[in-house]
Amino acid sequence: MMKTGNYILCLLLALAIPGLSFSQKGWDYVKEIEKNIKPPVFADKNYNIVHFGAEKGGVKDARTAINAAITQCSNDGGGRVTVPAGKYYIKGPVILKSNVNLHLSEGAELVFSSDEKDYLPAVLTRWEGTEVFNYSPLIYAYQVENIAITGKGLLNGQGSKNIATWKPNQKEDQKLIRKMGRDGVPVYERLFGEGHWLRQAFVEPVGCRNILIEGVKITDATFWVIHPVACDNVTVRDVVIDSFNPNSDGFDPESTTNALIEKCHFRTGDDGVAIKSGRDQDGWRIGQPTENIIVRDCTFESHANGVCIGSEISGGVRNVFIENVTIPKASNGIYFKSNLDRGGYIENVWARNIKIDSVKTAVKFDPDYKSESKENYPTRYRGFVIENVDCHYASHNALEINGFENMPVTDVTLKNVRVKNTRAAYEIQNARKVSLQNVVVNGKPVTHIEPEKTISLNGLWDVRLTDEKPDSYASKVPVPGILTMSSPLVAEGLHGNDLKDDVGYNYVWYHLDFDVNEEHYKSAILKIRAKYNALVFLNGKEIGYDHHCTYSHAEFDISNAINYQGSNELVVRVGSWNTASSPSKENSSEWWRNSRAPGLWDDVSIELGNSVGIKHIKVLPEINNRLTLCDVEIANKDNTNADLTVTASIFDGDFLVSNVTSKVKIGKNNNQVVSMKVPSEMLQYWTAGKEGTPKQYCMNVCVADAQGNIVSDKSTMFGYRNIEVQGKDVLLNGEKIMFRAENIAFVRALNRWQNVMFDETWIRNFLRTAVQDYNFNYLRIHLGHAYSKWYEIADQEGIMLQDEWRYMHDDEPVGKDLEEVGIEFRRWIKQNVNHPSIVTWDQENEGHVRLEDLKAELRKYDPTRLWGEDDFYAKHVYDYSEQVISAPFFQQATDCPSTILESCRLWTNEFGLLEPREDYKTSRTSTGWGVFYYDSNIIGQLLADLHADIGTYYRKTRLQAWAPFALLSGWVNGQNFLLGNIADSLTVQQNLQLSLTRLNEPVGVSVDMLQCQEWYNQKTIYKPGASYTKDVVAWNDFGTDAKVNVVLKIKSIDGEEVSSQQSALLIPKYESSGVQMKFIAPNGNGCYILEPTLILEDGSVITGPQRRILVAKNMDKELEGYMAFGGRRTPIEGGESCIRNFLKFDPPAKVVETIIKVAEGNLLDRLSLTDNIYTMQSTSYKNINEFTITTTKIDNTGKILFTEKANAMNYVDLPKGTRDIIAELIGAVPVDESRIIVRKNEGYTNYDVRLNESAIRCKLSINDDGTVRDKKVIKQ
């Protein structure tokens, strides 16, 4: 337990940055850095400076000879410039050039001039972190590569004779150069040097790479000794420095990447090592961090600090590794310093095996070191692990960790630290997540424990498929993941969708051994998501059972079973579909929609805490009031009442924006929600899409007891945003927004690509690509919730989500079923309520359940989101794609926004070919457009045409959302985007990419034509030289009018422009506009491209989807087959066949000819062969609700033996009485995709009901008076 008092502990929040996290780096990351640090290799050629005129003795100037040798060596391709034994006087700077190793033989000494005039003219350098033209460093290199200073010789700077003594005179120049840097004075105007007092560095390569300094000794420096600036790949090895002049830091890498210093011995007047990255505004302007630094096996004796980071760190410093360092004497051992002028950051620092003799403070964090302007730009300190430190004497404190209240130091672990003799143990102020482990000061243990700690149990678990608890396990499975990811696979034939008939099993058992070393905690909560019905055992003790954890985290209290200091054995039994007791399992005819391969499919963790702790934080922005509501649920497990102080703080990064405090009394063994409203005047909105800014903040809640002990401290990310409906519009933060939408059916994606669905890097790549490359801003997640990282990354990448409940109900749940649905719904929303990306909740997919009372309750809990099909008109309409009709038409609401959330479907596999599924969806779309033979290019082109036709309609009519299946839904057209390699994320066929990306442009344009009708059905041709008119539609998703020029180009098929027309157009804000544009068809026969573009006022150009026209005088067979014009009716070499999809073989040519002729203009639904008779069923649509099914029988010669036509309907279009009879007979409600054939007879009507994805077929005959004439259920 942490206390204030002698040591002030204000525990505040710091946020995690994107990319590789602190916890992932560790010492293994050193190996990755070392891969990028390679000493340069030089040609085996020698250039002796004596041969260029240098003379020993230290009197005659040898500088000209050395520089001449260097130049000649570099011009010849490189080698070694040798300085033989002896003393050489150097009257000015030595300038290193590419591919040169300056080698000082043993006994050689370069004695540099002490006259400052010898170091003119001024060169570009940095002085204390600010760019300046100043006296040249003694050894200088600028933008060269492969350079070295090696050997056993001595570099003598003679600084003490003149230049090193200038410090008392530099005050005015120091103020001036710092002011120039802060004011942004151009660097070329920062001219110092002659007449000024800014001391230059000794060795300074600037903008160089591949640098080696090895073996030499350096003494009597002028200023900083080794100062690489903006360099890459630096090695400093076996170097000795003796220089106690003022500010003679030993090694100061600045804005430098990949540097290694090892086996060095420094005795310096200032820091042994000081890692830097620019000063104040000048460092921000340059913006180049120092990163990937290794310091090891060195001794640093210093009048200042042994190893230091700062204070010039405005560009940031990260990934620093320090080990095996001895510090005999210094002011501070390891020192991190900055101030309120700097900004920047210091993060990811690891140090171990540090031996210190005598210092003031062994380890020190100082955020306010010599601040000058007293600006408010605190530095972010985050991520430090310092271990195995032995210090003999610290005259002040053993440890000092100080931050600012609005920018605390975060994530500091000190382990195995021993300070034998010191005045005080430690001082900690404004720091968070500080852990002192095995820290001994003055012979006494010192502890400092965080109030909570989360232990991740993700990783490889043991797994076995068996009904009884196993004694051994033969397979491993990743957690999070699903059972089909096990290796070796726990059962042959196991399916990603947990199909009932695949593997007959009831339970799968997960097992994990793990260690805990956290004896200071009193409470432990296991959080787990399992499908289905988790039964948990810990250390042989049954903890509990929870069948509501399918899509929400179940919490198991393991406080009395866990071994807080030692080994633990965790066993989780997970049930299959056969044993599932999840809500509504028996209440849906289409069980597959509810299924998913069992497993621990989300993060598993243990939360350690105290008897008083935060259970949950809910954050709801109230942007109209410029407030943020923070509801904190606090549990008091003690047998006494608790008087608590609760502080809710909003952080922007690590900077405190605002906070409020509340006093509360919570009764013993009780929970209470504390509501606070935090001022939010300064918060920036979270907005979505490529044009948006997905700004996130952190809400930190700190709970202290009556004595000031911090008993609980938790945080959650949130976005400051509001979404609402106003009339027919959706408003995001008060501004109208259009949903550029897409579907992800997770149950299908998991079936094929389960590994990457749990890969955080891949998820980020996918979502970033969807936003940045394809212009999506809205995803509808349905048929299974996503792994939690999807939501976190969507928050960060700026893509809105419609999160849809998993279960499919055929009717309204009641009784126990309703109770259980309520439990899951409440947990689901509670656990996801803080994600700004989730803007819409939805109770289910394509169902009939309203759950009005439950939704009313949840709307009160979360009034900041929409509910699908309640707040907007939402339909799944497949006309013009799956149902091939003459034109796309979507009914729109008159009083609310209208959305089409499923549309434009072709069922394909991951190779872009039609999915060979033996039902009416298999090839019906392609055959409806006349495509019977195909390859991935033809299917891709058809998809592009469908997207362009329907998408243009959507854009023209300004629907709130149009969501085709395109990216990752499995079985539904998007798989062809992946071309068999999902690891590449979105590798798409070019024509599909063009259609989707261009239709999703916030300001875009398209030709308003029905490509599919013209190309595949009507076989439209354009006469050469004739005049035609096309409507061009443009749209504008932004809140300001757009004045544009519309250009309609005609291009040849290879992209050469033939002609163009242009017209001015005003597109009102949030609206679309159209213009009629005339063009002359080209004179040459062939396929041409219509490509519209917009030229905006700023000159930028936006291109719309490409549309095709066929120019010819007359139609003939050759043209009909040109580029699949009119459909593909002949085989393609290496291609596939819709007919083969049904039959699994190719029938005789005459049979094929008859099938294609009969199906012309229809959708081929079914095709089978029985007793040498082919039976085919095809559908023709008059409109979406009126269609005819034709059954035809054909013999082996292609002769038609029988034809029957019957009207067909969707279930929802039947009379209510008939629907009720069918539902009662089947025991389920057919979804819209189930086919019902209607045959009207005199006095009665026959209904033939086929359930989608089911072998059940129902035959029903109903008299005209409504009585049942006959009924039967057949399982085919």
Domains and CATH numbers, the chain: 1-21+337-450 (no CATH), 453-609 (2.60.120.260), 612-721 (2.60.40.10), 724-998 (3.20.20.80), 1003-1113 (2.60.40.10), 1214-1275 (3.10.450)
Angle of helix 990-999 versus helix 936-957 axis, rounded to 10: 10
CB 284 within 8 A of CB 312: no
| pLDDT(1126) > 90 | no
Give the residue-averaged pLDDT of 830-840: 97
**pLDDT value at residue 89:** 98
CB 1230 within 8 A of CB 1236: yes
Q: Which residue has the higher pLDDT, 865 or 903?
A: 865
Q: Give the model confidence (pLDDT) of 1068-1099 as tens digits.
A: 999 999 999 999 999 998 899 999 999 999 99
Task: Tell how far CA 1164 is from the center of its chain.
Answer: 42
**pLDDT value at residue 1124:** 67
| pLDDT(42) > 80 | yes
Give the residue-averaged pLDDT of 1225-1232: 65
**pLDDT value at residue 1276:** 59
| pLDDT(585) > 60 | no
The rounded distance, in Å, linking the Cα atoms of 789 and 663 is 35
**pLDDT value at residue 996:** 81
Task: Return the SS3 of 909.
Answer: coil
Percent of the chain with pLDDT over 70: 89
pTM given for the model: 0.80
478-482, 942-946, 1002-1006, range with greatest mean pLDDT: 1002-1006
Q: Which residue has the higher pLDDT, 1121 or 758?
A: 758
The rounded distance, in Å, linking the Cα atoms of 698 and 630 is 11
745 band by pLDDT with thresholds 50, 70 and 90: confident
**pLDDT value at residue 501:** 46
Cα separations in angstroms, 105 against 47, 203, 240, 502: 13, 18, 15, 77
| pLDDT(695) > 80 | yes
| pLDDT(625) > 50 | yes
The rounded distance, in Å, linking the Cα atoms of 1038 and 121 is 55
The rounded distance, in Å, linking the Cα atoms of 469 and 467 is 7
List the strands of the sheet with 729-732, edge to edge. 723-726, 729-732, 735-736
**pLDDT value at residue 502:** 53
The rounded distance, in Å, linking the Cα atoms of 1003 and 993 is 17
Q: Give the model confidence (pLDDT) of 248-305 as tens digits.
A: 999 999 999 999 999 999 999 999 999 999 999 999 999 999 999 999 999 999 999 9
| Backbone phi and psi for residue 1147, each to the nearest 5 degrees, phi listed first | -75, 170
| pLDDT(496) > 60 | no
Q: Which residue has the higher pLDDT, 685 or 813?
A: 685
Number of H helices, E strands in the chain: 18, 76
Instruction: Centre a 10 Å sphere on the Cβ of residue 1220 and count the other Cβ atoms it contains.
Output: 12
**pLDDT value at residue 580:** 60
CB 752 within 8 A of CB 496: yes
Give the residue-averaged pLDDT of 551-567: 91
Longest dimension (CA), the chain: 126
**pLDDT value at residue 606:** 98
**pLDDT value at residue 1255:** 64
Integer-rounded Cα Rg, in Å, for the chain is 37
**pLDDT value at residue 21:** 43
The per-residue DSSP string of 847-897 comes to: -----HHHHHHHHHH-TTSEEBTTTBEEEE--BTTTB--SS------SSS-
* Average of per-residue pLDDT values in the chain: 88
Residue corresponding to tokens 């608890």 = 469
138-142, 450-454, 466-470, range with greatest mean pLDDT: 138-142
**pLDDT value at residue 982:** 38
Give the residue-averaged pLDDT of 1204-1216: 82
1242 band by pLDDT with thresholds 50, 70 and 90: very high
165-179, 821-835, 942-956, range with greatest mean pLDDT: 165-179
**pLDDT value at residue 140:** 99
Task: Tell how far CA 264 is from the center of its chain.
Answer: 42
CB 808 within 8 A of CB 593: yes
589 band by pLDDT with thresholds 50, 70 and 90: very low
Any residues with CB less than 8 A from the CB of 57 and at least 6 apart, and which?
86, 87, 89
Task: Return the SS3 of 982.
Answer: helix
586 band by pLDDT with thresholds 50, 70 and 90: very low
907 band by pLDDT with thresholds 50, 70 and 90: low
973 band by pLDDT with thresholds 50, 70 and 90: very low
CB 762 within 8 A of CB 793: no
**pLDDT value at residue 503:** 57
915 band by pLDDT with thresholds 50, 70 and 90: low
Give the residue-averaged pLDDT of 1204-1231: 78
| pLDDT(1239) > 90 | no
The per-residue DSSP string of 116-154 comes to: GGGG-S-EEEEETTEEEEESPPSEEEES-EEEEEEES-E
Q: For 67-76, 274-283, 299-308, 373-382, which range has the lowest pLDDT when averaged over its residues?
A: 373-382
Give the residue-averaged pLDDT of 154-176: 97
**pLDDT value at residue 592:** 42
Percent of the chain with pLDDT over 90: 64
**pLDDT value at residue 77:** 97
CB 627 within 8 A of CB 680: yes
The rounded distance, in Å, linking the Cα atoms of 131 and 207 is 13
Q: Give the model confidence (pLDDT) of 384-420 as tens digits.
A: 999 999 999 999 999 999 998 888 899 999 999 999 9
* β-strand pairing of 1268-1275 with 1256-1263: antiparallel
**CB-based burial, 563-595: b 16+ in 10 Å, e otherwise:** eeeeebebbbbbbbbebbebbbbebbbbbbbbb
What are the E-state strand segments in 708-851? 710-718, 723-726, 729-732, 735-736, 739-745, 778-782, 800-804, 838-842
**pLDDT value at residue 6:** 27
The rounded distance, in Å, linking the Cα atoms of 898 and 954 is 10
**pLDDT value at residue 979:** 34
1112: part of which helix (H) or strand (E)? Answer: none
Cα separations in angstroms, 772 against 689, 761, 1094: 8, 16, 20
| pLDDT(1227) > 80 | no
**pLDDT value at residue 500:** 46
| pLDDT(968) > 70 | no
Q: For 318-322, 800-804, 1004-1008, 1158-1162, which range has the lowest pLDDT when averaged over its residues?
A: 1158-1162
793: part of which helix (H) or strand (E)? Answer: helix 788-797
β partners of residue 352? 323, 387
The rounded distance, in Å, linking the Cα atoms of 689 and 742 is 13
The rounded distance, in Å, linking the Cα atoms of 1164 and 1194 is 14
**pLDDT value at residue 1231:** 55
1228 band by pLDDT with thresholds 50, 70 and 90: low
Provide the token pair at 349: 């620092």
Give the residue-averaged pLDDT of 674-702: 97
Residue corresponding to tokens 């991951």 = 910
Task: Tell how far CA 405 is from the center of its chain.
Answer: 30
768: part of which helix (H) or strand (E)? Answer: helix 760-772
**pLDDT value at residue 1222:** 80
**pLDDT value at residue 4:** 29
The rounded distance, in Å, linking the Cα atoms of 44 and 1097 is 61
Q: Give the model confidence (pLDDT) of 631-664 as tens digits.
A: 999 999 999 999 999 999 999 987 889 999 999 9
Give the residue-averaged pLDDT of 581-605: 60
In the chain, the N- to C-terminal Cα span, in Å, equals 68
The rounded distance, in Å, linking the Cα atoms of 1108 and 940 is 14
